[in-house]
Homo-oligomer: A and B are copies of this chain.
Amino acid sequence: MRVELLTIGDELLLGDTVNGNAAWMGRRLADHGIEVTRSVVVGDELDVIISAVDEALGRADAVITTGGLGPTYDDLTRDALAKAAGVALIRDPVLEKRLRARVAAANRPLAPMALRMAEVPEGAGLLGNSAGSAPGLRVELPGGVAYALPGVPFEMRTIMNEIVIPELVERAGRPQVARRTLRTAGAWESVIATRLAEVEALDGVRLAYLPSPGEVKIRITASGPDAARRLDGAEALARDLLGTMVYGTEDESLATVVHRLLIERSRTVAAAESLTGGLIGTDLTAAPGASETYVGGVIAYATEMKNRLLGVPEELLRAHGAVHPDVAAAMAAGVRDRLGASYGIGVTGVAGPEPQDGHPVGTVYISVAGPGSEPRVISPLLIVPGAGAEVREVVRRLTVVHALELLRRDILGLDAEHGAREAEEDREERG
């Protein structure tokens, strides 16, 4: 079953928005064993949309469009699909009634233009959209089926999950592909790939490495009639070879995993930040239920704040400045004790673009102080290609990942040195 995506909208060609919808759709379809063979973006032009739909169905079995279902003059998807199917656009009385009722309930006048959202290519199926104004459409065309979805992400995902994916899975028959993603932090792609050579060699199994700052996701893809069984075998072998490098699977973030480990042990955490500016707190509070594990934090951005808010000794700051392993340790213990948490995180370093106190950009010290324990400190030297504000962003993100990974290893009673060893290999790798 081959599917193409067609995203419609000038704003995408102009780079006003990044095509997050297409990425989400590609991922969800792949999860269900359906291959996206091409993804195209066109602007709001009727003839271009029509020919893009026709071309797609010349190559694939189905095309899924997003965008162009709103009420304004540049919303052309309904028109395009009607023309492609050689049918008329007709006003659907049920849709019109619902639209009028919705607008009346909001106490607003009905702009005549809005009634375009009650028009439907004759014979098209309506894909119920309780979340928004315009329904999705299913239009059968000579070359295959076209699904038209709203561009609003939440509405698109609802219709994909509830209607389109189940239909496509039904049409496709039994999936011949099974996938799983393992997530690692603090280890380098080359180290992981070297360890996984045995898995790469397995029949019917492919590995893809997806690095992001401080993390590497490993996607295992197994194919063939016994794909599920092969996948289980490959995953077991990969986990055996990688050991504690693996922190989670699929989409569970490092922060989510840390949250779960803390809840299981009835522990809490507080974070003292500086260069990270609040990123650690943001990550630890992103998910619902965070209040059970994250009690709060301090962003001691100015050097003096490290003493004022966390009790880092003035002599230490005077002697060494803010960028020093003992400062990180004092921050971790300070925030743990002052906020009454089980664990404290402390980070200090140089995000750039300028060096600080003679320390090069990428010098960071990361500390975790556990319950009744002395803080542990790591210092991964973060060498980041690029310039200016980009480097700053990556150094900050890397610091967050290393901090959360150190906390995870602390909770699990694991060696913190893994991070330091990786830093050594990192220096070697980058020559």
Q: Interface on A for B, CB 8 Å cutoff?
A: 10-20, 22-28, 30, 35-43, 48, 105-108, 131-132, 154, 208, 210, 217, 219, 271, 273, 275-282, 284-288, 290-291, 294-302, 305, 308-309, 338-340, 352-354, 385-390, 392-393, 428-431
Contact = CB atoms under 8 A, between A and B. Distances in A.
B291 A301 contact: yes
A41 B40 contact: yes
Contacts of A132: 385
A221 to B, nearest CB: 9
Contact of A278 (B22, B297, B388): B297
Contacts of A36: 13-14
Nearest to A41: B39
A105 to B, nearest CB: 5
Consensus secondary structure, chain A interface: mixed
Given A13-B38, A37-B43, 17 more contacts: A11-B210, A13-B37, A14-B219, A15-B24, A16-B219, A106-B431, A107-B431, A131-B385, A273-B281, A278-B297, A282-B282, A285-B301, A286-B392, A290-B301, A296-B299, A296-B301, A299-B299
- Highest count of chain B CB atoms <10 Å: which of A26, A386, A428: A26
A281 B287 CA distance: 19
A412 to B, nearest CB: 24
Contacts of A295: 301-302, 305
A274 to B, nearest CB: 8
A18 B153 CA distance: 14
B23 A15 contact: yes
A288 B277 CA distance: 12
Contact of A299 (B11, B281, B389): B281
A273 B278 contact: yes
Nearest to A292: B302
Contacts of A41: 22, 38-40
